[in-house]
Structure 1
Amino acid sequence: MRISDVIRRKGAEVVTIKPDDTVRQLLDLLAQHRIGALVVSPDGSAVAGIVSERDVVRHLQRAGADVLDSPVAQIMTAEVTTCGPDDGVEHLMRLMTDQRVRHIPVVIDGVLHGIVSIGDVVKHRIDELQSERDQLVGYINQ
């Protein structure tokens, strides 16, 4: 299976935040959308970075509550691991494991087209296993 299959099932909506928005605004968006990370983008299509709940926690521990009024650019990860829609789900699972990341933006020709989380990958894999199970049960019961 490919990343495009995962995106087709979950949808391609990506919540982004601008680099100069504050960490406080970031927290509002994370809570509002019930998600764990946002792509940092100046225009909604270019990927400038990614910022997660983990980033906020680490910086709160180091700098205290003052970090809440800092720009997202100060806490984001600028070197973003991305994937394409034709990449395999197995490749993405290995990438997430090796790089210890939970969210990977899907990019085509430098333009943001989606985001895949570890939860999306797990759900996709569970659905695959359920389908295989159903097929085997159907075959056995014939």
Structure 2
Amino acid sequence: MIETTIETVTTPSARTITPETPVTEAAEQLRAPDASALVVLDAEAVLGVVTEGDIVAMVAETDERPPVRAIMSAPVTTITPGTSVYEAAERMRTVGVKHLPVVDDGVFRGLVSASSLAPYCSRQNTDVDWTDDPLRFDGSGTTGVTAGD
């Protein structure tokens, strides 16, 4: 399998908020087409993630409008830029999240979503073991290349 790292699919300009950001402000930011989640930062440390689902759950449960600290998903699972796309997708599946902040030496570098990983992941994990030279010339004088048997 060709290993693509998270660096390739990270959204470095992911939207961030502080733990004290009002929920109403977070909800307004999530209305933007490019905002599937907001990363909650304290300085450069990732504290949590807020999604539309978090806000919908809060509205369903209470009339209060607390700061995002009260509704963010925490503790948050993070990955590093060198993590493979497959490893990130597997981590999302096992933890049950759709967003993973990318952190390098404790510094937030971006956000990866399940939808950004989808084009890189097949429905099944297929490992290919080549038993022959994967590409070879057929020797007939033509310029075509055929796949190995």
> Does TM, normalized by the shorter one, top 0.5?
yes
Aligned residues: 124
Q: Percent identity?
A: 34
Paired amino acid for 2:38: L
- TM-score computed with the length of structure 2 as normaliser: 0.75
List per-residue Cα deviations over 1:7-53 (Å, max 9, x = no partner).
3xxx411210111111100011111353221100133x221111111
Alpha-carbon contact 2:15-2:35 (below 8 Å) kept: no
Larger RCO (CA within 8 A; separation ≥ 6)? 1
Alpha-carbon contact 1:85-1:106 (below 8 Å) kept: yes
- TM-score computed with the length of structure 1 as normaliser: 0.78
Higher helix proportion (structure 1 or 2): 1
Runs of 4+ in 1 over 2 A off after TM superposition: 123-126
CA RMSD of the aligned region, Å?
Answer: 2.1
Alpha-carbon contact 1:6-1:124 (below 8 Å) kept: no
Structure 2: runs of 5 or more not aligned: 123-143
**How far apart are 1:124 and its partner, in Å?**
3.4
Match of 2:114 among 115, 118, 129: 118
Structure 1: runs of 5 or more not aligned: 127-137
Superposed counterparts of 1:1-80, under 5 Å: 1-7=4-10, 11-43=11-43, 45-63=44-62, 66-67=63-64, 69-80=65-76
**How far apart are 1:119 and its partner, in Å?**
0.6
